[in-house]
Amino acid sequence: MKAYSTSPTIYTINAPRIQMVDNLITYICEANELLQKEIDMSPANQLVTNITSHLSLQLRSHYLPEEIQSVLSNEYIRMNQRKLQDKLSEAEFLAELSDSRDICKSKSSTSDILTKLPTWNIYKALVSQELSMLRKFIGHEDRLKKLPLIFVGSGPMPLSAIMLHLLSAVEVICVEMDSAAYEASCLLLEHLGLADKVKVVLENGSNFDYSSYSQIFVASLVRNKMEVLEQITQTTSDPLVAVRTAEGLRQIMYEAIDESQLNRQGWQILGRTSPDENLVINSTLFIERVTTPD
């Protein structure tokens, strides 16, 4: 993996833009080829850790619209983007699982444990943006606290749900379909003393009954987002949904929701957060059902 950790061609700011884009395409293609050969995607595999961290750094950089289009339209990338996302998702899941289990062994205080996590500031920035926009749409802080928030796809390290609670004092119910993630997150929340404020339900978000809830978050790594949104439509009225997506080259790492499909299924976009180039990689769409006159 020497080429990925030390190659100057990928990081040379003064290189001609066209050469920089060509280098980036080569980088993504070779990174995918290497990741597809790896069986162990856990943090114990330093090769995987190096690839994912450098790729994330590259995709946070600023690119012109035509440069983004050039990368995303590359035939190899188009054909292999989903496979690359699957590998990156697996690596992220296993890293979170490892961190979650390690925290449960720690004797440190809750604040020390959480704020020292390398992803803490990333999630704080993202969730702060989301809560600011959520308050804008629901109008009053009191309304935010009336009912629990639902967070679909919280994973083994439910930092988003924890952050939502800490920044708003609202109860959060996590909906998680993976049994290992469910078990790890329950143990983590118990260890942190948050189990009565952030709860976890073992359920696929596409089967969960949302009838008692109206403010719902959907994580970026949820693959069946449209099925989840359909279930929300079928089980609750007047929902406000915050669904995480990806823009620009960040789509290489995370699945971007099809906004035209949202419109076809009766959703309208109220607003969106913008990713921070140096920190946050995801953006979030706030959507509601289109109301039609009787």
Q: What's the CATH code, domain 110-289?
A: 3.40.50.150
pLDDT at 275 (0 to 100): 76
How is residue 103 annotated by DSSP?
H
The helices-and-strands tally (H runs, E runs) of the chain is 13, 7
Taking the C-alpha atoms of residue 189 and residue 198, their distance in angstroms, rounded to an integer, is 7
Structural contact between residues 284 and 273, judged by C-beta atoms closer than 8 angstroms = yes
pLDDT at 11 (0 to 100): 41
pLDDT along the chain (294 residues), means of 10: 40 66 94 97 96 91 91 96 96 95 82 83 91 84 70 96 93 97 96 95 97 94 95 93 94 92 92 78 91 55
Give DSSP secondary structure letters for 142-155.
Answer: HHHHHS-EEEE---
Radius of gyration of the chain (CA): 20
pLDDT at 238 (0 to 100): 86
Tell me which amino acid residue 74 is: N
* List of residues 6+ apart from 180 with CB closer than 8 A: 97, 156
CATH 3.40.50.150 domain locations along the chain: 110-289
- Predicted TM-score (pTM) of the model is 0.88
Taking the C-alpha atoms of residue 280 and residue 59, their distance in angstroms, rounded to an integer, is 11
pLDDT at 7 (0 to 100): 41
pLDDT at 110 (0 to 100): 66
Structural contact between residues 51 and 1, judged by C-beta atoms closer than 8 angstroms = yes
* List of residues 6+ apart from 70 with CB closer than 8 A: 21, 25
Taking the C-alpha atoms of residue 108 and residue 102, their distance in angstroms, rounded to an integer, is 12
